[in-house]
Structure 1
Amino acid sequence: MENSEVNSVDLYGDEEIVEVIELNETEPTPDDLAEDIEDMDFTEGDEGRETDDEGGEEVEEADKDDSDLTFAKHTGSVFCVNLDPSTNSLAVTGGEDDRSFVWRVSDGEVLFECTGHKDSVTSASFSHDSALVATGDMSGLIKVWKVETKEEVWSFEVGDLEWMEWHPCAHVLLAGTADGNVWMWKIPSGECKTFQGPGCQATTGKILPDGKRAVVGYEDGIIRLWDLKQGNTSHVLKGPDGHQGPVTCVACSKDGGLILTGSVDCRAKLISTATGKVVGVFSTEGCKPKVLMEEESETNSIESVGFCNMLPLIAVAYLDGTLAIYDLSTQSLRLKCPHEAGIVHLQWEDSSPLLYTCSLDGAVRIWDARSGQMVTQYRGHTAEILDFTLNREASVAVTASGDHKAKVFCLQRPDR
């Protein structure tokens, strides 16, 4: 099967922007990608070795609760939330109480609890077909459950867990750990492949849309693009090409031709996945990088980044409450959207230029990236929002908060 290849990155003009991908006559299908990943050699070894060298702030209680449902089974902060991609009817949450639940969004009824964790559950998500759900705790215990039967089908223990992600087309799970290693398993057989890191934390990672590569950011600011089939790095960005501090977040364009990384150095870097070259650097004037000092001082970092699918725009969310929207055509700052508190996560709507953010003041906000105006906001949490997710139609948002609750918000906008 032939893949799409990124041949060049050409940033130009106002109407056209990024020539990132040249499609072959036959574009790979999800089945093709799943078949490719199933053919990979999942054996442990040295083939993956590279030879080249939070607590949220308290907020005042909300005046009103705009949510349509509150899930209150957790007894500690809720750290993560995910919706099943097939029907968007089920949510999975994980929390500080070492517990994880799969529950119905419509009425909050618990389908089953993902039992057996011994530390805070910081990662929880459904597979691409909603058949499986994976939960991972800070100590590195990962469990996978079959949703239909509510049974545990696989478990494994690694070092301290930093992040975890399902493959977009197959029952393959990827995870990064504090020792810098990245693990990949077939589920439920458990066949394993390791991508050995530099000995510092693999702080963030994402599988590219082609299903054959993954980008991983590390605590030392280095970015590595891994070939999942060959088990080696295709590109390594370090020194002036990498970040000058831990990489905090990563996103990729819909076609996989570009990746966007953010760091505590307050810079976002745009990288071609074909060449491994930095093709854009974005920073906002007045944003001070996060520094380690004995005394309290003003700190900042980039917490979330994302590509707009409808317009040549990217968004960068800062811990100081700045939401910056940049024009990819000119690589210039287009808009700033101030928040009352630090931004934790952002997400673009798939089919419009609307952008959603959640922040430490406990609010979900919707922004129009064309004007920079806030469309509306939703409140109800009495502590910081730590994670949120949208359904496909962007009609429902589910949030996870430090107030020990998850909430479901039915989103109403003037254009609906």
Structure 2
Amino acid sequence: MENTQGNEIQLHGDEEIIEVIDLNEEDAGPDDLADELEDVDFEDSGNVEDDEGWETEDEMEAEAERDDSELTFSKHTGLVLTVRLDPATNSMAVTGGEDDIAYVWRVSDGELLLECKGHKDSVTYAEFSHDSSMLASGDMSGLIKVWKVETKEEIWSFEVEDLEWMEWHPCAPVLMAGTNDGNVWMWKIPSGDCKTFQSPACPATSGKILPDGKRAVVGYDDGTIRVWDLKQGNAIHVIKGQDGHQGALTCLACNKDGSLVLTGSVDGCAKLINTTTGKVVGVFTVDGGKAGGARDMEDSNSVESVGFCNILPLVAVAYLDGTLAIYDLATQAERHRCQHEAGIVQLQWEESSSVVSTCCLDGALRLWDARSGSMVSEYLGHGAEILSFTLNREATLAVTASGDFRAKVFCLQRPDR
């Protein structure tokens, strides 16, 4: 998902089209309708069996008011754009919003722990450090602030060009960020010692520090992917041209040991890359292998989110048209296609199961069993689209951020628990 501003939600790829369906297949006048009603036996209209499939007004109202959440955090006064859990304890959540504020709050009871103020624009990124001792918040304008969680004080700030992504190092007090001028920044916190990884003037749209902590993979607006050596500051591999994407990268993820990276793009294609060799070793699409090219980019089905399963050789790719595709990593064959009625915003695999969760523009959180392709459960409660979500380690809780100005905590129940 691209940066969000105001009340306008913009996805990669085509604009969402809302189709209005006329329930009458043909134009019917009053006389035609009267003729159709002549054969209706009104005396049997009270038969319960004939009402099967219809909902009463009370049932429809109950469905509209259904809220499966355990807790609602409602301090934001604008769209809630991002949410994360602290990695050390999973007891704190941080949410960033259109109101230019990030809030840290306790998941168990919603108690406010820290207000991160002073931003100039919507807070689109908020991340805890690996040990949860620090929190970084970044806004659309490029202002980044770092806070010490325990003392609730701001300990560092820096301003860059418009922010595209931000991430903490997995085991060191080091923060990385990519900007729309093509630079990738790396700072030691709180000293502020800085290193930049420069590339041609092209937005660095997505990035990920690999688990070894020595390399990072960055995707760019021109479809290029670079594997950077963080110590030396040079690009180890540059994947471009036909090997790269034919449009801007939207997302990327790595497997558990960092040997493979999966990238997604507005060209409707996901690519599997070996980070050691820099070679593309797999290509995934839902249209029979036809990836979007420069000429048909407007018609391509943008990839919105990707991820690796930790316990099975499977990957998941979420598309703008609402398709969640599960692929076999070894054969690259599509195993299941899980269809949503609206565009998928984000997917996340559970750490120790074959269940993958999705959040959607229809405001629902859904859990899918990748082994069977069937939906395990569905959670409702938001009055607008879910823009971000995260799971705790045990996958017993999900925290969501929505365009309805709220964040919610859902207790995830499954038959196997």
Q: 2:258 aligns with which of 243, 256, 260?
A: 256
Partner Cα distance (2:279, 2:246) in 1? 17
CA contact (8 A) 2:144 2:159 kept: yes
Letter in 1 for 2:397: V
Alignment of 1:171-250 (within 5 A): 171-250=173-252
- TM-aligned CA deviation for residue 191 of structure 1: 0.3
* Distance apart, 1:357 and its partner CA: 0.5
Aligned to 1:386: 387
User: Cα distance 1:187–1:292, how it changes in 2: closer, same or farther (>3 A)?
Assistant: farther
> How far apart, in 1, do the equivalents of 2:197 and 2:169 lie?
16
How far is the alpha carbon of 1:112 from its aligned partner?
A: 1.4
Cα distance in structure 2, aligned partners of 1:142 and 1:359? 28
Correspondence for 2:104: 102
Deviation at 1:198, TM superposition (A): 1.2
**TM-score when scaled to structure 2?**
0.83
Q: Please say if residues 349 and 356 of structure 2, whose CA atoms lie closer than 8 Å, have aligned partners that are also in contact.
A: yes
Note if contact 1:58-1:383 (Cα within 8 Å) is conserved in structure 2: no
SS, match of residue 242 in structure 2: helix
1:109: Cα distance to partner? 1.1
Residue number in structure 2 paired with 1:55: 10
Partner of 1:362: 363
Partners in 1 of 2:123 and 2:188 — Cα distance? 21
Deviation at 1:224, TM superposition (A): 0.3
Does residue 157 (structure 1) correspond to residue 112 (structure 2)? The answer is no
1:312 and 1:288 mapped to 2: Cα distance? 23
Structure 2 contact 285–291 (Cα < 8 Å) conserved: no
- Separation in structure 1 between the aligned mates of residue 176 and residue 188 of structure 2, nearest angstrom: 9
Work out whether residues 291 and 299 of structure 1, in 8 Å CA contact, stay in contact via their aligned partners in 2.
no
SS across alignment from 1:202: coil
1:109-158 deviation digits (Å, cap 9, x = unpaired): 11110010010000001000000000000000000000000000000000
Moved more, 105-114 or 217-226: 105-114
Choose 1 or 2 for highest CA Rg.
Answer: 2
* Equivalent-residue separation in structure 2 for 1:302 and 1:96 (angstroms): 24
Q: How does 1:76-155 map to 2 (within 5 A)?
A: 76-155=78-157
Provide the C-alpha distance between the structure 1 equivalents of 2:17 and 2:167, rounded to a whole number of angstroms.
Answer: 30
Gaps of 5+ in 2: 1-8, 19-59
* 2:33 match: none
Alpha-carbon displacement from aligned partner over 1:36-76 (angstroms, at most 9, x marks no partner) = xxxxxxxxxxxxxxxxxx43779999441101111101111
CA distance in 1, matches of 2:299, 2:234: 40
Partner residue of 1:45? none
In structure 2, give the amino acid aligned to 1:236: V
Structure 2 matches for 1:24-35, cutoff 5 A? Answer: none
The one-letter code sitting in structure 2 at the alignment partner of 1:325 is I
Letter in 1 for 2:233: G
Q: Alpha carbon RMSD of aligned pairs, Å? A: 1.9
Show the 5 A alignment for 1:231-380. 231-285=233-287, 289=292, 300-380=301-381
Would the aligned equivalents of 2:210 and 2:254 in 1 still touch at CA under 8 Å? yes
What is the aligned partner in structure 1 of residue 67 from structure 2? 65
Could you tell me how far apart the structure 1 residues matched to 2:192 and 2:377 are? 45
Counterpart CA distance in 2 for 1:234 and 1:176 is: 18
Amino acid at match of 1:273: T
8 Å CA contact 1:347, 1:357 repeated in 2: yes
Larger relative contact order (Cα-Cα within 8 Å, sequence gap ≥ 6): 1
Cα 1:344/1:135, change in 2 over 3 Å: same
Change in 2 beyond 3 A, CA 1:364/1:58:
farther
Counterpart-to-counterpart distance in 2, 1:107 and 1:138: 30
Residue 215 of structure 1: how far off its partner (Å) = 0.3
Percent identity reads 73
1:292, distance to aligned residue in structure 2 (A): 9.9
Verify the 8 A CA contact 2:266 2:300 in the aligned structure 1: no
Residue by residue over 1:342-401, the C-alpha shift from the partner in whole angstroms, topping out at 9 and shown as x without a partner, is 101001111111111101000110000000000001011111100000001000000001
User: Structure 1 290/401 Cα, relative in aligned 2: closer, same or farther at 3 Å?
Assistant: farther
* Aligned counterparts of 2:410 and 2:295: Cα–Cα separation in 1: 37
In the alignment, what sits opposite 1:26?
none
Deviations 1:288-331 (A, max 9, x none): 859999xxx86620000000011110000001000000001211
Off by >4 Å, runs of 4+ in structure 1: 56-62, 286-293
Segments of 5+ residues of structure 1 without an aligned counterpart are 1-53
Question: Partner letter of residue 339 of structure 2?
Answer: P
Q: How far apart, CA to CA, are the structure 1 residues paired with 2:399 and 2:292? A: 31
1:248 deviates by 0.5
Is the CA contact (8 Å cut-off) linking 1:299 and 1:320 kept in structure 2?
no
Specify the code of the residue in structure 1 equivalent to 2:224.
I
**Whole-angstrom distance in 2 between the partners of 1:118 and 1:292:** 38
